[in-house]
Structure 1
Amino acid sequence: MQHRLFFPAALAALGSVGSAHAAGVPTLQEVTVASGSKDLTGVADSATEGTVTAKQLANRPLLRPAEGLETVPGMIVTQHSGDGKANQYFLRGFNLDHGSDFATHVMGMPVNMASHAHGQGYMDLNFLIPELIGGIQYRKGVYAVEDGDFATTGAARIDYLRKLDKSFVELGMGQHNFRRLLAAGGQSLGDLNLLGAVEVGGYDGPWNQPQNLEKYNGVLRLTSGSAANGFALTGMGYKADWTATEHVPERAITSGEIGRYGALSPSDGGRTHRHSLSGDWARTTEAGASKLNLYVIDYGLNYFANPSGYINGVQGDQHEQADERTLWGGQVKHSWFLGPQWKDTELSVGAQLRQDRIGLLGLYATENRQRTQTIREDRIRETALAFLLDARTQWTPWLRSTLGLRRDQIDARVTPLAGQFNMSNGGDASVGQTSPKVGLVFGPFDLLGPTEFYANWGRGFHSNDARGTTARSNPQDGSAVDAVPLIVKAKGSELGVRTAPLKGWHSSLSVWQMDLASELVFIGDEGITEPKGASRRHGIEWSNYITPADGWIVDADIAWSQARFKEANPDNGGRRVPNAIPLTASLGLIADRGRWFGGLRLRYLGAYALEETGEQKSAAFWMANLKAGYRITPQLQVTLDVLNLFDKQANDIEYWGGACTRNEAIGGSGGCGAGTAIDGRLVHPLEPRTFRIGLRASF
């Protein structure tokens, strides 16, 4: 009987050690024990996985919806363009760009876009409604068989609430013409729960050129039962239109050509939409568990940008990236609880299928959003199929293991539609990979407190843009190019520990390493894939959660990493990976005391190399956000958000690269206006201190 009671005892002892870094009381997921069988899916398999609850997100000040992912320890979310575009993400020494090495699913639907017009793995989370998030499950590394494409640094699965305790209407207003209306309601009919929400918003931002963001969002969800025994059917619709102030050469600001929040191009920005329907079904018995998920998504983007400025004349180098696709797929999984005679092993098999039917993938030269030249236009059908095998076993009271095997197969067909130098770039590409996964957990032991030790190893990958795998010529000028592999292989390992040294204090520490076969990136601005060589990263992460008293939460984490190319850049001899942040830290204080509630969060970003030698670096900075709320009555509350509390003047993102300003093109300095750029620092400033007030009425 001792081994049959191990997991409940471990849960009681470890408390919230397995939870997410978030503003709230962390807890391990529930473990079900019935007739000697166990559902081990809620037990932590590594030191760097966890679950964030709705309560933990409620008092977190957010500038953008995607900042909810900053509950993942070490994750940084920024922006270098307008708020209708996917954010920039950073984790574990990776510049994830718009999501190329971190996989996110919302209600079982993949958010990362394969072979996307702007960048591989494009992960636009602007459609999220934070108030409806019921939970975020995250994992780091390549150790889980469920995680496939793009999950080299990790993965997150976001689920919405199955029902609302109270319906509500919330009105938000703030500086720079911020306005937001959110109405959400629910109705229960027996075992059925219907939830609906509508969000309408807009924001001009601090930019001299108003952003004119217009955002429309809607959700309708029908559920029954629980996530383990029940079903959910969800429809979502989102669209946005905006004008962007892109990153600019820093010298344009210091010279006075534009102000700190000025723009060089008057018509950058875009429009996007995402409509989806998804369904989930699950059943759990004493003998096993079954899960099924299906989805279909209609997605589109027309994005206009002028990132290099005026290299080729004062008309500017604006281009449009267009993406029109339908993607569909799903996942099926069945688990058997084998009982004490098999060491309470849970054996799981499953399959995942995804197909992207991209009707139009285009890159065009434009002026003021009017197309002047078709650089390339393609149609792509890309299919990804995976088979999963997983076994979790409790060998002794102090040792359990996870052994997994994942087989992926990706097939793509690229059909060129237009472009003077693009018509020879079509063809088929196919690749497969088998990815073993191993995890060992030792404990719990009673050391300074209940303690578990973890060891993990695995292989994974991220895919490359299918256009790069069939490329023969540069669509810009017709010069010959080398095709690249359809996937980039990754190998990772990790050692970690979770402990609760004192009552109310839970801590985790991990040391990790990651090898990536290539830093290949599809450059959407140019329509080509750029090889950047193999790399190695390693780092240390320490996360802490402290509940000193009822209603008070303190969370703190620090993450250090080092990212290096395995071979030096032949042009400058450097081995540093640009934009890999080596040091991040955060500190949060949450209070919920009767009528008063709120949160204060501080975030630190260390200086990072902008190019391979490390001679050019960004400026390190810290910033703070504050939320304060008061419950006037049980049905009425008011909140105040102060974003960038101390009005820190720093940059959301910095790059090093070639660009030209309008004045430089007119003056012809450095070859600007005649095809030669000036290398320098490209920046997008932090938004200044901003006040936002919200009023919520519940009923």
Structure 2
Amino acid sequence: MPASRLSFVPPLVVCIAAVASSPVGAQGPAGEIRLDEIEVSAPPPASSGPAASAGYVGGVTGIGGALATVDAASAGIISGAQLNSRPVTRPGEVLESVPGLIVTQHSGEGKANQFFLRGFNLDHGTDIALHVDGMPVNMRTHAHGQGYADLNFLIPELVGAVEFHKGPYFVRDGDFASAGSVRIDYLDKLDRNVALTTLGSFGYKRGLSAASVPLGAGNLLVAGEAQTYDGPWVVPDALRKLNGVARYSQGTATDGFSVTGMAYWAKWNATNQIPERAVAEGIIGRYGTLDPTDGGETGRFSLSGRWSQSDAGGITRASAYVIRYQMNLWNNFTYFLNDPVNGDQFRQRDARVLGGGEISRVFQGDLLGLPMENEIGLQTRTDDIRVGLFNTTARQYRSTVLDDRVLEASAAFYYENRVRWTDWLRTSVGFRADGYSADVRSDTPANSGRARDGIVTPKLGAVLGPWLDTEIYVNYGGGFHSNDVRGVTATVDPASPLFNISRSPFLVPSTGYEVGIRNRSIAGLETSLALFRLDFASENLFQGDTGTTEPSRPTRRFGIEWSNHYAVTPWLRLEGDLTITNARFSDRDPVGQRVPEAPTTIASAGVTFGEGRGWFGSLRFRYFGSRPLIEDNSVRSKPTALLNGRLGYAFDNGVSLALDVLNLTNAKADQITYFYESRLPGEAAAVADRHFHPVEPTALRLTLAGRF
């Protein structure tokens, strides 16, 4: 039964099984995870470890006491040490520590990543909700794509913990969270200050300094990062990036506060996906481009704060943020399809100020003598947006397609009840109610208007066990994603005002089901298995001619996830994950039933070694299976298999040296592949073709770090 607007539908939320002790657990609060162990310690199981003291990570699981933390088999907490043990090409790839999540790129390095999870091509974030330090990363009614989530401002070395949930079962998650959510918290303080320099292939240079000092009754943390990168492209990316964080904090995660400022700026050139025929015919090489003027620039500045206080009856938490964001993208995906003379390049502009916050209260109590918790919360967000689309040639303005002002606001109330009925049965019952309103002022008057919508998505769940160190989970929950509100109010095509268009729904419901099991009967080994299904009333799909996502047909996905984490010794850890998904449109259409870009198989494996001083390293394998590119499955992408490695040595004086080898086997694989029509110079008509973005060849990166 799908979640419905303003009506009660029984879905489910289950929260995490009792968290096992781990090496990180022995360190105390994750806010005190030792930075000198980021590269060399054996990380904890993905579902283990404490939350970062920075704020809300782990907050939904209550405050301990009589109730063990509970959740789904597909949920967990990852320490910052585990996150940073992986060799990665770009910052967002650290999130591949979430089992089954693929993070890739189809453009220049300053653009938001492409995400794949549970049979979804999530584009730049349409159905995966990302938060950093309590702030949403996904941008609604965005110039390039709904839910656009740019994580390039992330500084991995500052991450204290990451909480992930897959499926719409978590009451704190609303918009964009149907496939899953990831909440990242930064550390409040560093045990040791750090300065590092990385030099690598293709012009890669990165410098980072981070320090924390006592100040008054609290701690001041300051970090700064600078990076440049050209890549292997014929037209260098010429990425230039500056990033900074300043945070003052007092107290702990349950009794304390913090105030954090962040600033990020980047500009770059972009080699977007290219047609296979252009390479086959020798027009360009594998790392070439058909429009050397594509690229972008972006900036993000934020101020946020969080506060928490506990008492005999429970804990109260509050957070607030304000973000100023801007972006300009120049893209040409179809070359000369629409304009054979000037070309098809367009500029997408997004400038906004958004603000919001959250307040929640966890009440401890009992139900007929049984341990119980109740949690209530309120979330708000308002975006003041200017968003535009312009035809350009070599980044020079030619004409305006649209130039709109949008004010979009939302509020949500959530409630959850958690009860331990017996030693082997825990339940959670909850719901959230979301309301949205928007005012669109378009330069095409027929597309102006106001829109309102609401949705109620209840959540239910149960955890049975443990029996023989085994727990069983059942989940059923409702979720949703919002659509670009311009499509909700529009009545005519802005490029051709004489043509009417169909309006999109504002909020699109989803319904998820899951049964899972987690076992810890072998010392050091945690294995989990989950069977899941997710139904969506409307799919968001990438459109090559506009570079955006647009609503499509209803879909159904079902699949299986198997995750394994084995701490063989305190210094040796093994991991292996496998996800197999079946994704289909749930209505009938002669064009076919396959969901374009939906991955069937995702797999990863790795080994991490090292403890304290001496040698440390990691070897990571990632497999991204073949995918249908059109509905009838007649055109498919090639699979991608990548191997990355790291080897380093940590000296007694706090200095460490590490060598990362990316794409160790020099695989000639693709980051991503699309199938759509384009037109090359000299072609008489449009040609439907695969368009791919290649994986970078083997690259070396050497990092010298000092901790003091």
CA distance, structure 1, for counterparts of residue 203 and residue 243 of structure 2:
19
Deviations 1:548-588, CA, capped at 9 Å, x for gaps: 11200001100000100012444x3x100000000010001
Counterpart AA for 1:487:
L
Structure 1: segments with no counterpart, 5+ residues: 1-6, 672-676
Counterpart check, 1:459 vs 2:478? yes
Once residues 174 and 185 of structure 1 are traced to their aligned partners in structure 2, the CA distance between those partners, rounded to angstroms, is: 25
1:277-320 per-residue CA deviation (whole Å, 9 max, x = no partner) reads: 00011112231010000000000000000011111215321000
- d(CA) in 1 for partners of 2:532, 2:424: 23
Q: Give, in whole Å, the separation in 2 of the partners of 1:377 and 1:442.
A: 54
Contact 1:601 1:625 in 2 (8 A): yes
What's the secondary structure of 1:176's corresponding residue? helix
Query: Within the alignment, does 1:105 sit opposite 2:131 as a pair?
Result: yes
Which of 327, 344, 351 is the aligned partner of 2:378? 351
Equivalence for 2:11: none
Which position in structure 1 is the counterpart of 2:601? 583
Q: Is the 8 A contact 1:204 1:211 kept in 2?
A: yes
1:249 aligned partner? 275
Match of 1:274 in 2: 300
**Distance in 2 separating the partners of 1:484 and 1:190:** 53
- How far apart in 2 are the matches of 1:8 and 1:133? 21
Partner of 1:674: none
> Which is further off, 187-196 or 78-87?
187-196
Task: Give 3-state SS (helix, strand or coil) of 1:256's partner.
Answer: coil
2: CA distance between counterparts of 1:285 and 1:89? 41
Which of 190, 198, 210 is residue 184 of structure 1 equivalent to?
Answer: 210
Counterpart for residue 257 of structure 2? 231
Counterparts in 2 of 1:65 and 1:39: CA distance versus 1, 3 Å:
farther
Confirm whether residue 490 of structure 1 aligns to residue 510 of structure 2. yes
- The equivalent of 2:235 in structure 1 is 209
SS for the counterpart of 1:424 is helix
**What is the SS of the residue equivalent to 2:521?**
strand
**Structure 1 Cα separation of the partners of residues 342 and 641 of structure 2:** 38
Tell me, yes or no, if structure 1 residue 327 matches structure 2 residue 354: yes
* Aligned counterpart, 2:570: 550
Partner of 1:470: 489
CA contact 1:28–1:43 (8 Å) conserved in 2: no
Q: Give matches, 1:22-101, under 5 Å.
A: 24-26=43-45, 28-29=48-49, 38-39=64-65, 43-101=69-127
Q: 1:433 aligns with which of 437, 440, 455?
A: 455
TM-fit CA distance, 1:13: 8.3
Which residue in 1 is equivalent to 2:6? none
The one of 562, 566, 573 aligned to 2:586: 566
1:200 and 2:200 correspond: no
SS of the aligned residue for 1:331 comes to strand
Deviation per CA, 1:150-202, whole angstroms, max 9, x where unpaired?
Answer: 00011011001110111121111111111111111110135401110110111
Look up the SS of the partner of 1:253 in the other structure. Answer: helix
The answer to whether the 8 Å contact 2:16/2:70 transfers is: no
Deviations 1:401-422 (A, max 9, x none): 0001100000011001x3xxx3
Corresponding residue number in structure 1 for 2:54: none
On the 8 A contact 2:18/2:69 being kept in 1, the answer is no
SS in 2 for 1:345: strand
In 2, Cα distance between equivalents of 1:270 and 1:224: 38
SS in 2 for 1:66: helix
* Structure 1 pair 521–259 and aligned structure 2 pair: CA distance change class (3 A): closer
**1:317 corresponding residue in structure 2:** 344
Given candidates 633, 654, 679, the residue that maps to 1:614 is 633
How many residues align? The count is 667
Deviation at 1:107, TM superposition (A): 0.4
Distance 2:141 2:90 in 1: 25
1:228 to partner: Cα distance: 1.8
Q: Give the 3 Å change call, closer, same or farther, for CA 13–277 of structure 1 in structure 2.
A: closer
Q: Distance in 2 between matches of 1:587 and 1:74?
A: 11
**8 A contact 2:103–2:114 mirrored in 1:** yes
Alignment partners' CA distance in 2, 1:688 and 1:320? 30
The amino acid across from 2:250 in the alignment is S
Counterpart contact for 1:308–1:659, Cα < 8 Å: yes
Between the aligned partners of 2:524 and 2:340, the Cα distance in structure 1 is: 62
Partner of residue 696, structure 2: 687
Asked if 1 retains the 8 angstrom alpha-carbon contact of 2:67 and 2:420, the reply is: no
Query: What is the rounded CA distance, in whole Å, between the counterparts of 1:181 and 1:306 in structure 2?
Result: 32
Residue 578 (structure 2) pairs with residue 597 (structure 1): no
Shift of 1:371: 1.1
Task: Give, in angstroms, the shift of residue 528 of structure 1.
Answer: 8.3
Distance 1:304 1:283, change over 3 A: same
Matched residue SS, 1:508: strand
Q: Distance in 1 between matches of 2:21 and 2:324?
A: 46
Query: Residue 362 of structure 1 corresponds to which residue in structure 2?
Result: 388
- CA gap of 1:151–1:242, structure 2 versus 1, over 3 A, is same
Give structure 2 stretches of 5+ with no counterpart: 1-14, 31-40, 52-57
Cα shift at 1:633: 3.6
What's the offset of the Cα at 1:500? Answer: 1.2
SS of the residue 2:446 aligns to: coil
Give per-residue Cα distances to partners, 1:567-625, cap 9 Å, x unaligned.
2444x3x1000000000100010001431111110001111101111111111131101
If the length of structure 2 is used for normalisation, what is the TM-score?
Answer: 0.91
Question: Residue 569 of structure 1 contacts residue 612 of structure 1 at CA under 8 Å; is this kept in 2?
Answer: no
Q: Compared with structure 1, are the counterparts of its residues 41 and 562 closer, same or farther at alpha carbon in structure 2 (3 Å cutoff)?
A: farther
**Residue 637 of structure 1: how far off its partner (Å):** 1.0
Q: Spell out, residue by residue over 1:332-374, the C-alpha distance to the aligned partner (whole angstroms, 9 max, x if none).
A: 001110047452110111100000011x200000011111100
* 8 Å Cα contact 1:249-1:661 kept in structure 2: no
**In the aligned structure 2, how far is the partner of 1:268 from the partner of 1:71?**
31
Q: Can you list the C-alpha shifts for 1:494-538, whole angstroms capped at 9, x where unaligned?
A: 000000131111100000000000114585964987442100000
- Do the aligned partners of 1:23 and 1:588 also contact (CA within 8 Å) in 2? no
CA distance in 2, matches of 1:161, 1:10: 24
CA pair 528-541 structure 1, distance change in 2 beyond 3 A: closer
Change (3 A) 1:15 1:529: closer
- Give the RMSD, CA atoms, in angstroms: 2.3
The match for 2:432 is 406
Does structure 1 residue 535 correspond to structure 2 residue 561? no
Q: Identify which range, 164-173 or 308-317, moves more after superposition.
A: 308-317
Residue type of the partner of 2:411?
A: L
Distance 2:344 2:363 in 1: 58
Question: Which has the higher mean CA deviation after the structures are superposed, 538-547 or 8-17?
Answer: 8-17
Query: Which residue identity does 2:705 align to in structure 1?
Result: R
Normalising to structure 1: TM-score of the pair? 0.92
